[in-house]
Amino acid sequence: MPTTIHDLTRTTDDVVIVGGGLAGLFCALKLAPRPVTLISAAPLGRGASSAWAQGGIAAAVGEGDSPEAHAADTVAVGAGLVDEAVALGIAREAAPRIHDLLSYGVPFDRDLEGRLAVGREAAHSARRIVHVRGDMAGAAIIAALSEAVRRAPSIRLIEGLVAEALLTEDGAVTGLQLRDVGNATARPIIIASRAVVLATGGIGHLYAVTTNPPEANGSGLAIAARAGAVIADPEFVQFHPTAIMVGRDPAPLATEALRGEGAVLINGDGERFMAARHPLAELEPRDIVARGVFAEIAAGRGAFLDAREALGSHFAEKFPTVHASCIAAGLDPATQPIPIAPAAHYHMGGIAVDERGRTSIEGLWAGGEVSSTGAHGANRLASNSLLEAVVYAARIADDIAGRAIPSPARLPEALVTPRNALIDTRAETRLRAMMSAKVGVIRDHDGLAEAVRHFATLERDAGSVALRDMATTALLVAASAFTRHESRGAHFRSDHPAEVPAFAERTMTTLAAAREVVEALIEQPARRTAQAMIA
């Protein structure tokens, strides 16, 4: 049952999970009957990117498919940075995790013979995507798990709090500082615990155009980074090539499965532009398609997803969520092309974790999009994210179940951030615009340098904890993109357009390292000025 903020126990032996998306909910259920306190910023089911996922879950459960083939596709798309052992392990655990979800009441689609129905999406060599009513997998999964969590006697649910600081002592977690989402200037609340799982989601809301909910603002990554956690691959941000541009924030998503069913990409002149660029046309990996769409828009021709011939009158039946989004905007996708643009969609980077979901901080685990397991490399294969979330949530639960968690630490005598200000909406808008313009689909040296300097200044001066978190995560992304002098997967630099073999390794960084990049950029102009004066 939900617990009000005023009922919050300040010292607990519970495992504390932060995040009400797929990873957080699944981990809480897998830990039963062990007591869990689950903290969700939004009412359960409303603030999770998982609930918006239209594609489904990739799982080699179809005839003639195999985990090895699934892993091979994952490695091929990841542009040389996928941890092959991790990819294979996740693929092999797909079937039991699908059965777990079925046991929690997720109504996956079935064929006429009662077997799980599987579809195909971009860069998969087989039909292996398990759906719910075409494009409703995420919503159906979150609804079923939310109901199971609310029924579970071992789970204490607390809604309406956001984690704004990790408490640590001697390199180990001792608790969290939390604040009421609805009252930014309220006094923070401290909860002491030696076992914390971060499942706070991604960073899409750092960008001006995104498919993610506002809660996906990088806060979990930021608080872990400020506590000293190692951050992996933050420069790799996947942009979904077909966000529906109808003036909504977040932008509705036109699922990849539409192209799998034969929908094509055209420009304003009605020309199909991807077919001339690459042999797989619309079914190329997302980074390639996103750049193709971006190029058409930049050239002033616009970009559209055309499903008139492929689906026509069957559109509403097969893809009800996309259809509803279009109709709400006065657009009939059965008879009209859908205006699209690339949008920040998924973060391959995150808090570095091992095969059990452990971070570099003792007593801190991370799962779902806030983590980086090595499964996605430089570019995520479609529908692998939900699979990774449930696989690692189960592994985290197993790891915690097999450990003796020390008694909670003493409550700290002082708050980490005793005061907070309302977020400066103009500064937030500028941050999001700069991320899209300078740290977006196409990047270069000067744009990234400008972004790094701006985010560092904002992080230092922000009076709002939420804005500071956004700036911290933006700085990590921009600084790592600045130092990777190549193009690889979703990271494309127009000044370094080729892959460089020497960079074929994952990024492992810290907030301190990102700040060193800032210091180097500050020193460069000073050196140039001094040299000019001497000359």
- The residues annotated with a catalytic role in the active site are 286
DSSP 301: S
The closest alpha carbon to 127, from 53, 67, 63, 77, belongs to 63
Are 52 and 211 a contacting pair, CB within 8 Å? yes
Answer for the pair 344, 243: CB distance below 8 angstroms, yes or no. no
Length of the chain: 535
Helix (H) / strand (E) element for 488: namely: none
Nearest to 158 by CA among 26, 21, 38: 38
The residue written with tokens 């195909």 in the block is 120
Question: CA-CA distance, 389 to 368, in Å (whole number)?
Answer: 4
For residues 208 and 304, what is the distance between their CA atoms, to the nearest angstrom?
A: 20
- For residue 224 the two structure tokens come to 């872990």
> What does the alpha-carbon distance between residue 526 and residue 47 come to, in Å, rounded to a whole number?
45
> What is the layout of strands, in order, in the sheet containing 508-509?
371-372, 350-352, 231-232, 508-509
Residue listed under structure tokens 């690692």? 392
d(CA 210, CA 253): 9
- Gap between the Cα atoms of 326 and 143, Å rounded: 23
Burial 22-47 (b: 16+ CB within 10 A, else e): bbbbbbbbbbeebebbbbbbbebbeb
- Give residue 389's identity as a one-letter amino acid code: A
Helical spans, DSSP H, in 109-170: 137-151
Are 206 and 218 within 8 A, CB to CB? Answer: yes
210 forms bridges with which residues in the sheet? Answer: 344
Secondary structure element (H or E) that encloses residue 475, with its range: helix 465-483
| Residue 310 burial (C-beta neighbours within 10 Å; 0-12, 13-18, 19+) | middle
Query: Can you tell me the distance from the alpha carbon of 91 to that of 178, in angstroms, rounded to the nearest whole number?
Result: 36
